[in-house]
Amino acid sequence: MELLALLLFVSIFILILYGYPVSFTLGGISIIYALCFLDPSSFSALPPRIMGVMSNYVLLAVPLFIFMGIMLEKSGLAESLLETMAMLFGKVKGGLAISVVIVGALLAASTGIVGATVITMGLISLPTMLKRGYAPELATGTIAASGTLGQIIPPSVVLVLLGSVLNVSVGNLFKAALIPGLLLVTIYILYIAIYSYLNPEKAPAMPAEEIAAFRGEGFGRRVVEAFVLPLLLIVAVLGSIFAGIASPTEAAAVGAMGATILTIIQRKFSLKILQEVMSQTTFLTCMVFVILLGATTFTFVFREMGGDQYLIEVIENANLSPMTFLILVMIVVFIAGFFIDFIEIIFIIVPVVAPIFVQFEMDLIWIGILLAVNLQTSFLSPPFGFSLFYLKGVAPPEVTTGHLYRGIAPFVVIQVIFLLILMFFPKVIHMLI
């Protein structure tokens, strides 16, 4: 029976790689295995589990954060931020790339949606960087890497889902992720600064006359408008969570309302925009929750068949240390990220390995942050990194796939080294908890 549980896991993985719909594959194959190999009476325990998931208050943050992110995308926030940051760093070689990283971090802390951030920054900043003489490799690598910061910098939908699956506090995950996220931004900026110093012709400074023109009348007002509004929103969302004033779900509601108000202030709000935002939010939320229902069915059947206990016994008999098992899981998640989306990894792989982490008495907050950083790395990694597909879809024709792969390689190396640092120096993660 335990081997059949493992066969169930492998069957689902293979069918997903073949392109079958994730949610129906998860739920459908699990039900078929249950009908064939389990006592029919065990099905009575499945509906309460599904209702438990659907009534999970924490998961209400998912549609609210998605709404917040899509509304901010429509507000024109990214355009004004990028334009202002580019002029502030214009005199510095590589300044435009540095501004993209900082804006990526701000958008990550405001939206937490990777696809929207990469596409938005690709449309706005990539043509400008190429026009200014930036090497296509540096331009594409910077945009793709900065756009994925939403995976780790809170508020992040990834962290909300990981908190639900690992059964840990989402608020604590947000606190634990903040310092690693800011450190990663700092390392990105240091890399760009060093690269630009060594290769000044590939990352030139902006013309002095353009900077002077921008810094003319009304410069202070433009800077305030570009930075104060998003920073107020970030403080309202994350500050309320860290101060213990609001739960992540309540803070997500504050963020959704704040994003709407910001869009009104920017004079971009209309009923058409609201309808588009609500439609996209409903679509993405339904996708997440249908996958979640299928994953709940899979987890239930897998455990009823004794799959989790069997894995624990195998690992104990193999005398694997907790760290060896953790490294093994990280490698599996990293490779899986080449082929399937982060939502599927969270709902398929994490529930299978979570009981083993509990058995080893490992810190699940630490595990959650490592998984989030790992998923972010897989988002960037050739040949199937989703961030690369997003950027290639909006890049000019002269930007080739080769440019993307060569440009992202240094950032992937940075991510892997950073992941190892977090694994062997867990105190970095616990600085705010």
pLDDT of residue 216: 67
Which pTM was predicted?
0.83
224 domain-assigned? yes
**270, two tokens:** 């209309």
Q: Which domain holds residue 234?
A: 2-34+45-428
117 domain-assigned? yes
93 domain-assigned? yes
Instruction: List CB contacts of 192: < 8 A, sequence separation 6 or more.
Output: 94, 97, 98, 101, 138, 142, 203
pLDDT of residue 65: 85
pLDDT of residue 114: 65
DSSP codes, 255-323: HHHHHHHHHHHTT---HHHHHHHHHHHHHHHHHHHHHHHHHHHHHHHHHHTTHHHHHHHHHHHTT--HH
- Which stretches in the chain have pLDDT values below 70? 110-116, 214-218, 383-384
pLDDT one-digit tens code per residue, 163-185:
988 999 999 999 999 999 999 99
Give SS3 for 247. coil
Cα→Cα distances 64→59, 105, 125, 151, 167, Å: 9, 20, 28, 16, 20
- Work out the percent of the chain whose per-residue pLDDT is above 90: 24
The structural domain count of the chain equals: 1
Q: Can you tell me the distance from the alpha carbon of 306 to that of 276, in angstroms, rounded to the nearest whole number? A: 45
40 domain-assigned? no
Q: 219-234 and 77-88 are packed helices; what angle lies between their axes, rounded to 10 degrees?
A: 120
What is the greatest pairwise CA distance in the chain?
A: 77
Q: Can you tell me the distance from the alpha carbon of 215 to that of 143, in angstroms, rounded to the nearest whole number? A: 25
Give me the half-sphere count of Cα atoms (radius 13 Å) on the Cβ side of residue 89. Answer: 21
